[in-house]
Structure 1
């Protein structure tokens, strides 16, 4: 029996109106917000002016990239880390005004092409097994998998699955296309293709293998029409920062990755801060049905305290000179124009007269926060004690027209509240954590918030 819902009657409405009018600050807030918008009115001037774009440790990675109208941040950010490594291997100085390589990037379109192709296969293999096992098409799991298919988001482990198998190419060998920069229509068509495949599997269970094969062929055809034919080899040559010309001859994307990029990135571990108390720190967690490459590494994380994540990120930049990939909930308390994040950057509660008091655990548990964007740390401001951090320098992938030419500043308290994941070398872990990485993961359902894709 449906619950009896109490309607808003006229007496209640009149009480709301009179209550609003009785507080002068409400009218002042209404006048300001209706004319200028909530962000302008709630903006904390004192906090913003003190959140400076200066850092004791700052790595140079050249011009900020732009993912345009796509959700490829996880690929852009992982390739931004990779291009930093490649620049060192190739002796290309990103900061040189006479940089002969220009704004060197690795092809994000190439990575997306193979990610999408692999996801077509992953989805078909996963769902066909469920159909064969008699999973109802309207079950919670099937509805989630069907609704979530063919988005652009991903994880560090998923990116490494692509680079391990397909390598990487400099951007000039496989540049952006109209569809790579605006993925909405392509994704919609691919989603319809996969939905149709499931419908055919249910209607014709004896043809499932044929349906998987035919749909994979169609997905490949559609991706190639939208994104182009990716190179299987290319003639690699470059001029380094000293003006020396190099010719490496014909090379495959896999050879390019291994020779100029890898640097141990494939062996990184993903650390997460799952704040829910039922998920213990020091244990590995995984997400059912989450992945992109069949036979690739599973999407699993080591759940650790947030301070340990900060310590690893700081050490990796200050001691090893390597950028750090991370995932966060980028929307709360963000000034996109100036490129700032701080937990008190906007005083919404003071404008509304509302006390927003949920902590990180409650925000995750009640659907108010989850990872939705991936970026790279390119610097940190460390106190004289060598440990205490005040703010972090972030390389975003939203172009150079915002923030500090595309680079953002994040307060340390914002890191605590809204960063969920960092990728670091396994060698940085203490022995107890290394052992935990080798243990079976606590598996969470496909729709768990820790499975949210950046």
Structure 2
């Protein structure tokens, strides 16, 4: 049944919008905008940046005009250990441009693989349409950065610094996706023509040579061997010569990456807790580590994060950074913008409903560097290291209320040692349920 809006209805709606409170709200909003007009100072006052557990992690980084938050968050957690162990200054950073280069290279090959795997499906199939809408992008997930590091290692930023395109990636992505779609046409035509596997592989290798040349010209040639010179916080000169990216990771980071696992909180009916999940067509390195999530309750996810923070280790985590975030003051708190009160409407939804109805998904990755616990040990607010530079928040750090975390945090990464034996067994020994490519748990931060 269709329902046309009538002029009589409009007249009634107009009457209902006439009142003193509505007029006050209208004047405030038209002059100041929705967020300024609905800003809730009492919520801001209850989220002061003071924490009972507060790791000293130094200056924040700046991803600038790029979507590399997942890389920045991962490399920042590693940087925290490096600066502590080797007494490096707060200015030290691992090269986000280096992992960016190899991510773009590997994502091209991953795209080609998905094109070939779906080559016999029609162009208007949902999978093919999904692929061609965005052949690749800047975003990623924890297991994807692990796949890159396991294959290519890491280097200090001084060895492979930022380029124009790594700091502002839109122009590059537009150019690169055009190349990948062009290559998709060729690969699908070869399959349609019943080309041999040898012919397809030869064409694919030619495409990858083009991809490498484009990346090398855009970002610079990545190092194979290098020397690392630095002065520690005591101003002592140090040098390590003849390093490779892999040997640098082994010496200066030294993590057993297989011990770090992705924990998610997705309270939807299709994803029971205490089970594992992966996502179709999600990844970057063909043959590398696959994305794998262990779904738990939000209470368990918080407890795991707290346990790792108590041991002095920061925590990679992923959130929906859109709703109820004051970017200027660095506050992530439910109710910081009382828009329902302003408009006299009710937009309340559960976390599961927001996921199921496309209202929310993971859009950003950052680092947990502190938490405030009450007298019973329960968290009240969390300290967050962002990667938007020092002008956002309090010198780049944000305060996240615990109720905001419950509603909009979806993923953390912790060492397996903090999991119970039962959860370790589930993670290690159960076959993950395969989710559709467009599932919200496949969103790229």
* TM bin (shorter chain): over 0.9
In the other structure, the counterpart of 1:178 is 164
State the shift of 1:261 in Å. Answer: 0.8
Q: Residue 215 of structure 1: CA displacement?
A: 1.9
Kept after mapping to 1: 8 A contact 2:134/2:177: no
CA distance in 2, matches of 1:78, 1:68: 16
User: Of residues 313, 321, 325 in structure 2, which corresponds to 1:322?
Assistant: 313
1:336 to 296, 308, 327: 327
CA contact (8 A) 2:307 2:418 kept: no
Equivalence map 1:45-444=2 (5 Å): 45-92=41-88, 94=90, 103-131=91-119, 134-205=120-191, 206=195, 208-318=200-310, 320-385=311-376, 387-438=377-428, 439-444=430-435
- Equivalent in 28, 48, 58 of residue 32 of structure 1: 28
What is the Cα-based RMSD across aligned positions, in Å? Answer: 1.4
| Alpha-carbon distance in 1 for matches of 2:270, 2:185 | 38
Q: Secondary structure at the match of 2:316?
A: strand
| CA–CA separation in structure 2 for the residues paired with 1:6 and 1:194 | 45
Does the 8 A contact of 1:125 with 1:212 survive in 2? no
Structure 1 distance, partners of 2:292, 2:253, is 23
Q: Offset at 1:154?
A: 0.4
Deviation at residue 93 of structure 1 after TM alignment: 5.2
TM-score w.r.t. the length of structure 2 is 0.96
Deviation at 1:201, TM superposition (A): 2.1
Q: CA deviation at 1:236?
A: 1.4
Residues of 2 paired with 1:360 and 1:269: CA distance? 23
CA contact (8 A) 1:264 1:425 kept: no
> Residues 89 and 261 of structure 1 are in contact (CA less than 8 Å); yes or no, is this contact kept in structure 2?
no
| 5+ residue gaps, structure 2 | none
What per-residue deviation string (whole Å, max 9, x for no partner) do you get for residues 33-71 of structure 1? 010011111110111122101111111221111100110
Whole-Å Cα distance in 1 between the matches of residues 257 and 41 of structure 2? 40
C-alpha deviation, 1:241, in angstroms: 2.0
1-side partners of 2:404 and 2:350: how far apart? 12
Q: Is the 8 A contact 1:82 1:262 kept in 2?
A: no
1:100 equivalent in structure 2: none
Separation (CA, whole Å) in 2 of partners of 1:333 and 1:223: 37
> What is the CA–CA distance in structure 2 between the aligned matches of 1:269 and 1:361, rounded to whole Å?
23
- 1:15 corresponds in structure 2 to 12
Q: CA deviation at 1:330?
A: 0.9
1:227 and 1:8 map into 2 onto residues whose CA distance is 55
Q: Distance in 2 between matches of 1:306 and 1:336?
A: 24
Deviations 1:266-287 (A, max 9, x none): 4201000011023111000110
Partners in 2 of 1:255 and 1:288 — Cα distance?
A: 33
SS, match of residue 355 in structure 1: coil
CA distance in 1, matches of 2:273, 2:254: 29
Deviation per residue, 1:189-234 (Å, 9 max, x gap): 1111111111122333325334322221111111111111111111
Unaligned runs of 5+ in 1: 95-102
Q: CA deviation at 1:7?
A: 3.1
Once the 2 structures are TM-superposed, how far is the Cα of residue 77 of structure 1 from its aligned partner? Answer: 0.6
Q: How many residues align?
A: 438
Secondary structure at the aligned position of 1:392 is classed as strand
Please give the alpha-carbon distance, in whole angstroms, between the structure 1 residues aligned to 2:221 and 2:4.
Answer: 59
Following the alignment from structure 1 to structure 2, what is the Cα–Cα distance between the partners of residues 179 and 92? Answer: 28
Q: Distance in 2 between matches of 1:179 and 1:376?
A: 24
Q: SS of 1:370's equivalent?
A: coil
